[in-house]
Chains A and B, each alone.
Chain A
Amino acid sequence: MKRWHLVLPLVLFVLLAAFLWRGLALDPREVPSPLVDKPAPAFALARLDDASRTLRRDDMLGKVWMLNVWASWCEACRTEHPTLVNFAKSGTVPIVGLNYKDTRPEGLGWLARFGDPYAMSLFDEKGRVGIDFGVYGVPETFVIDKQGVVRFKLIGPLTPELIATKIQPLLKSLGDA
């Protein structure tokens, strides 16, 4: 009688358990963005602090930069903000804010209260540019290279660990390129 028949159920169980265990560690909210390694969507938006000045995507060509989506109504942005303020002090790359579905007074008030790490913030009142960037869970952060290609996308708040382990190595490699 072949003995392996007896352990087969155990093997199948362990296999199933391994799949389920792995499933526990996956976060369904982290949807891989189809934008990574594609050109950033074109946009032309007025600044939050000055409606008469506009920034276009192509104005940022030739620079490595970060786009951070935030809003004054967003709780997680509050959590993220000190990290961003600290990172901005290092002056590594310009951080452009995308003020998502907010109002000008509330957005500006928020920056006045908690500090402004942004080179500038753009005012996306209706969230149309947010849709083009596939934004669905503010805060979100994009790293865009000199050719205007999205190289990294983060959904959810930045942390000092993420900056050290993911962002800075990436920025370094992009800066040299």
Chain B
Amino acid sequence: MRRLVVASLIWLFAMGALAKEALPASADPALEARVMQIAAELRCLVCQNQTLADSNASLALDLREQMRTMLREGADAEQVRRFMTERYGDFVLYRPPLKATTLALWFGPLVLLIVGLAGLFIVLRRRSRLGAEHFEPDVPDTIDEGVTT
């Protein structure tokens, strides 16, 4: 029994060694790297939380093939991105462009931060001007004192 298990394990590993690595979709590694670099910043529309580089949806495969063709024909990254946004909208860009409709997206957090800091500043300044009678008097921490002395 044990021998059978060992033999089948050996067989299994041998088969694993025979299996080939998955071939990249293009024989040109430089091209493939550029495709992946651009695809990493584009959203796959089928599985929306994946990039075009990560996704194996058939649309993502098609779009990567399309990018390969375009890059091979001399297109630059900007042209590839424009090709995508013309068809699928700004939604495919992980870095949204700065324009009127995205102002809140770009500057909203900064505005919130400034409002928060201003509020904090006003509250602290108001408190610093209040007399001592507005606060509870400092009470010595008796338990703590008992330990230290």
Contact surface of A with B, Cβ cutoff 8 Å:
28-29, 31-35, 101, 126-128, 131-134, 136-137
- Which of A32, A101, A132 contacts B87 (CB under 8 A)? A132
- In the complex the two chains form, is B45's CB within 8 Å of A133's CB? no
| A134–B88 touching, CB < 8 Å | yes
Number of B residues near A (Cβ < 8 Å) is 15
**How many inter-chain residue pairs (CB < 8 Å) link A and B?**
38
A contact residues around B12 at 8 Å (CB): none
Could you say which residues of chain B place their CB within 8 Å of the CB of A132?
87
**Bound state CA distance, A132 and B86, in angstroms?**
9
Q: Let me know if B62 and A33 touch, CB within 8 A.
A: no
Interface of A is mostly: loop
CB distance from B12 to the nearest CB of A (A): 35
Bound CA span A127–B89, Å: 18
Q: Which of B62, B85, B89, B91 contacts A131 (CB 8 A)?
A: B62
Chain B hits for A134, CB < 8 A:
87-89
15 new A-B contacts at CB < 8 Å, known A33-B88, A134-B87: A29-B48, A31-B91, A33-B89, A34-B90, A101-B58, A126-B62, A127-B59, A128-B66, A131-B62, A131-B63, A131-B66, A133-B87, A136-B45, A136-B59, A137-B46
